[in-house]
């Protein structure tokens, strides 16, 4: 499977931009960066659970 430009862009954002954004938000307002990180983790967790249970193939046919 080929690596797409979208995957490269998302990977770059996660590795380089997101940590800097968290640090800058923490400097601007107390704990704002940690709220962003926690919200992102919660969003991903809920999305994964929805995908696993809501969109799973039904065994009813």
Confidence of residue 60 (pLDDT cuts 50, 70, 90): low
Q: What is the mean pLDDT of residues 37-46?
A: 93
**CA atoms of 13 and 11, how far apart (whole Å):** 5
Residue pLDDT, tens place only, 10-41: 999 999 999 999 999 999 999 999 999 999 99
Q: How confident is the model over 47-58, as a mean pLDDT?
A: 82
Q: Sorting pLDDT into bands at 50, 70 and 90, what band is 55? A: confident
């Amino acid at each position: 499977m080929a690596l797409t430009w979208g995957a490269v862009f998302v990977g770059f954002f996660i590795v380089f931009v997101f940590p800097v954004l968290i640090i800058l938000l923490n400097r601007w307002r107390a704990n704002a960066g940690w709220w962003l990180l926690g919200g992102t983790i919660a969003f991903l967790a809920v999305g994964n659970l929805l995908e696993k249970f809501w969109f799973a193939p039904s065994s009813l046919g």
